[in-house]
Amino acid sequence: MNAPARGDRVEALRARIAACTLCAAHLPLGPRPIVRFSTTARLLIIGQAPGTRVHASGAPWDDDSGDRLRDWLGLDKAAFYDAAKVAQMPMGFCYPGKARGGDAPPRRECAPQWHDAVLGVLPEDRLTLLVGVHAQARYLPHLKRLSLADRVGRFGMDLPFIALPHPSWRARLFMARHPWFAADILPPLRARIARLIGPVGDT
C-alpha cells in the first residue's frame, strides 16, 4: 500500500471512530472517543477509559494519572503527545460514567469493535504498555491468575507487552508496598522507551 493510500485509510478509520455511537445509550456524558494513533507510532499505551477531565479536554491522560504515567515513562508532554511516536488506545474510548468506588469499567463493546482496526495501522515492531488490569486481561489472558504485582514483575518476559499498574492515586500504595517497581522496573522501562522512540521531533 502506497503512502497516500495508507494515509487515507488511517484518516477514514479516525473518522469512523469519531462517529461511533455504539455505546451512546450507556454513556452519561455522551460519546466522545479518545484515541490517538499513526502509522509510525512504535510505542502503544493501552489504558482503561477516559475520565471526566479527559472527556472535557479530548486529550488522553490529561489528568493526575497522566502526570504520574509520564513520570514513570520518562516522557515530557511534548514526547507523550507526539502521535507520530506514541499511540494511545484505551480499552474503552469514551467516559463510561461512575460506579461504586470511582469510574465505571470500560464499556465491553469498544475493544472488540475497534482495537484490531487500530492495531492494523500501527507498526509491527511496536512496544505495548498494558496499563491496568483491564488491558492486561485482554492481551495477557494466560496471566489472569497472577496478581497485579506478579504481572508487573514479569518485566521483559512477555514482549512486546509490558504490564504496568494503573497510575491512579492508588498507585502510591502499590509503590509503597512494592519498592522494586521504582527501583528495578522504571529505569529499564525508561531506557527501552528512549531507545524505541528517540528524541522528540526526530524524523
How does pLDDT run across 75-101, given as a tens digit for each residue?
Answer: 999 999 999 999 999 999 999 999 887
Predicted confidence at residue 201, as pLDDT, reads: 44
Low-confidence ranges of the chain (pLDDT < 70): 1-5, 199-203
Length of the chain as a residue count: 203
Write down the pTM of the prediction.
Answer: 0.94
DSSP category for residue 166 = -
Domains delineated in the chain: 3-197 (3.40.470.10)
Helices and strands (H and E) in the chain: how many: 10, 6
Predicted confidence at residue 1, as pLDDT, reads: 58
Predicted confidence at residue 202, as pLDDT, reads: 40
Predicted confidence at residue 199, as pLDDT, reads: 64
Tell me the C-alpha distance between 146 and 151, whole Å. Answer: 6
Predicted confidence at residue 8, as pLDDT, reads: 87
